[in-house]
Amino acid sequence: MAPRVLFVDHSSQIAGAELVLLDLVQDFATEGSVWLFEDGPLRHRLEAAGIRVSMSAPWFRTSGIKRDGSLVRALPAVPALAQITANIGAAARRHDVIYANSQRAFVLSALASIVAGRPLVWHLHDIMSPQHFGYAQIRLAMMLANRLTTRVVVPSQAAAEAYRVAGGKESILRIVPNGISHGPEQADRTAVRAELGLGGGFVFGVFSRLASWKGQHVAIDALAELPTGHCVIAGAALFGEDDYDLALKRRARERGVEHRIRFLGHRDDVPRLMRAMDAVVHPSIEAEPFGRTMVEAMLCRVPVVAAASGAAVEILDGGSVGILVPSGNAGDLARALQNLRASPGLAQDYVDRAEAWARRMYGRAAMCQAIGSIVAEAARERAR
């Protein structure tokens, strides 16, 4: 019988990690449930898919705190912590495996796994490096991983390498790339552009949540170096990065390109929007753990231009299925976009190879199957 899985995520916002969760839970729907620390759009999506959701008491809140910020500051007071741990532990006793899908969920799930005596799988969606996290947070996470965790799942070689360097145990590590389902096969490019107030000229898009390390400001600077063309920025500040949101809009004004930018906020129709772009840009200035937007763009047959760091290099197969540019350099990004624009043949060449590559490497079914085996392995290991 398939193990009963308790998925735990601290957030109810829908960012990349939560999209992975939404895909995974479908496979465990009959036997599993999800524990969230707060209410929000994720709960609605899960319940609409027929998944059982439990929530921590309303006084336990972690929203409004930066996802990549200090864990110590993010953690609530000790009594609240003890209470939530006990609650997750009680829920875990009705399941065979605990599956932590975010860092904050992981810390509390690790404690709950002791309370409940259940194996713990940690899906680590982050690069555990000092560029992303404080020293104490990395130490705490690695200590809990090495002592209390049965399996750690990471989405890329880049995330695996950072985990090793941080001192994570190799024997429990498994690499499972995000799997992504195909978007709609067709979208009316002209209609989408009209909706966005765009004509037939060159348009590139950036599709990520707004956070300074995701580098949307570099895309704005690159636009300012292009004499013509437009940029679409889709995504919202989901984890307290509202200042960055304002700073981006200010920057667009200061660079004199605000009339050539469309800030769309969070969107649920990303593939449809992507198909109306001439290029999708992935401008992260720190190493990216995965970067689903690159795969989505490849599946939509839109050329990708990405900052060459973290998983982008693997996902674009070293530059053979997309264009890699130095991270944080608006001038190089602008030149790469100019080249694409000047040679439609080049773009066509990339998209043919990229679509085949993305379908082969990043299928949703393959991800669910791999994670299903890891969960089964974890359940067996504890049962011994």
Q: Which residues of this chain interact with ligand GLC, rule CB under 6 A?
A: 15-17, 20, 125, 155, 178, 288-292
Contact 204, 278 (CB under 8 A): yes
Residue number, 28 or 202, with CB nearest to ligand GLC? 28
Q: How far is the CB of 166 from ligand GLC (least distance, A)?
A: 16
Q: How far is the CB of 80 from ligand GLC (least distance, A)?
A: 26
Tell me the C-alpha distance between 99 and 164, whole Å. Answer: 21
Q: How far is the CB of 38 from ligand GLC (least distance, A)?
A: 17
Q: How far is the CB of 124 from ligand GLC (least distance, A)?
A: 9
Q: How far is the CB of 323 from ligand GLC (least distance, A)?
A: 19
Q: Which of 154, 148, 90, 78 is nearest to 123 (CA)?
A: 154
Residue number, 20 or 162, with CB nearest to ligand GLC? 20
Q: Any idea what the Cα angle at residue 172 is, between residues 175 and 369, rounded to 5°?
A: 45
Q: Which of 130, 159, 140, 132 is nearest to 20 (CA)?
A: 159
Q: How far is the CB of 123 from ligand GLC (least distance, A)?
A: 8
Residue number, 81 or 175, with CB nearest to ligand GLC? 175
Tell me the C-alpha distance between 48 and 345, whole Å. Answer: 43
Q: How far is the CB of 23 from ligand GLC (least distance, A)?
A: 10
Residue number, 229 or 289, with CB nearest to ligand GLC? 289
Tell me the C-alpha distance between 194 and 42, whole Å. Answer: 30
Contact 199, 287 (CB under 8 A): no
**Looking at 72-215, which runs of residues are DSSP E strands?**
97-100, 120-123, 151-154, 173-175, 203-207
Contact 310, 289 (CB under 8 A): yes
- Residue with the closest Cβ to ligand GLC? 16
Residue number, 9 or 96, with CB nearest to ligand GLC? 9
Q: What kind and span of H or E run contains 53?
A: strand 52-55
Residue number, 118 or 125, with CB nearest to ligand GLC? 125
Contacts of 279 (CB under 8 A, 6+ apart): 204, 205, 302, 303, 304, 305, 337, 340, 347
Residue number, 122 or 290, with CB nearest to ligand GLC? 290
